[in-house]
Amino acid sequence: MHIPDGYLSPATVVATYAVVAPLWVYGFKKLKASLDEETLPLIGALSAMSFVIMMFNIPIPGGTSGHAVGAALISILFNPWIGFISVSLVLLIQAVVFGDGGISTLAANALSMAFVGSFVGYYSFMMCKKYRAAPFFAGWIALVSSSVLTSIFLGIQPIFWTLDGKPLYFPFGLKVTFVALVGSHMLFFGVVEGIFTALVYSFIKKRQKVVVA
């Protein structure tokens, strides 16, 4: 889901930065309010976990691969604004240090994987908190929602930006992109994200209750 440089038209790049900029400003204010010596090891470890889980590329039928993101987990365990900023910083490091995802497309990637992932994960968890499957469902729907937004960013490119009938940027249309991206995230990577979210959540939360009792 890391959109590389050159895949989105300049207009899309400007629009995504315009949308994400105020969200980043507000998110950094939230981070400022909660980042101290006590929370740093927590926020750092959760962000590191997001970075590491994205390195687990999972091969699927059809010759492609994908990975979980971990935004839902940070949001459930800590706070969705911290999830959004943490995953945004992970995406920045991936783009600058590892060439994974573009700089011009950082805003688009942050909106899909970080913002949508964090908030959809958080609110769907809150809504079905009383069910045991809540962490799994939150992780699954968070990643699937992220893939919906990514497929829209990519799929609109050949509709609006062509030259002499040839696409200038990402060439495949909405339908193909939606089926390929959202489908694979519903069936495979979203399930992995759900299992990851549920396992880590229960490992951290349930045992904590036992210790307290």
Binding string, residues 116-145; x marks residues near another protein by CB under 8 A: ------------------------------
Choose, by CB under 8 A, the member of 46, 71, 107, 134 that binds another protein: 46
Residues 122, 77: contact at Cβ < 8 Å?
no
Choose, by CB under 8 A, the member of 16, 23, 27, 51 that binds another protein: 51
Residues 84, 114: contact at Cβ < 8 Å?
yes
Q: To the nearest whole angstrom, how small is the minimum distance from the Cβ of residue 100 to another protein?
A: 7
Q: What is the total count of residues that contact another protein (CB under 8 A)? A: 70
DSSP conformational letter for 70: -
What lies within 8 Å, CB to CB, of 126 at 6+ separation is none
Choose, by CB under 8 A, the member of 19, 89, 152, 186 that binds another protein: 89
Residue 177 makes contact with another protein by CB under 8 A:
yes
Residue 159 makes contact with another protein by CB under 8 A:
no
Residues 191-210 that bind another protein (CB under 8 A): 200, 203-204, 207-208
Choose, by CB under 8 A, the member of 20, 76, 91, 95 that binds another protein: 95
Choose, by CB under 8 A, the member of 42, 148, 152, 174 that binds another protein: 42
Q: To the nearest whole angstrom, how small is the minimum distance from the Cβ of residue 155 to another protein?
A: 10
| Pairwise CA distance, residues 31 & 49, whole Å | 18
- Concatenated DSSP letters of 79-147: -HHHHHHHHHHHHHHHHHHH--S-STTHHHHIIIIIIIHHHHHHHHHHHTTTSTTHHHHHHHHHHHHHH
Residue 41 makes contact with another protein by CB under 8 A:
yes
Alpha helix (H) residue ranges in 156-189:
157-160, 174-184
| Pairwise CA distance, residues 202 & 28, whole Å | 29
| Pairwise CA distance, residues 72 & 89, whole Å | 15
**For another protein, which is the closer residue by CB, 124 or 184?**
184
The residues that touch another protein, with contacts defined as CB under 8 A, are: 1-7, 9, 31-32, 35-37, 40-49, 51-53, 55-59, 62-67, 77, 89-90, 93-100, 102-103, 150, 154, 161, 163, 166-172, 177, 180-181, 184, 200, 203-204, 207-208
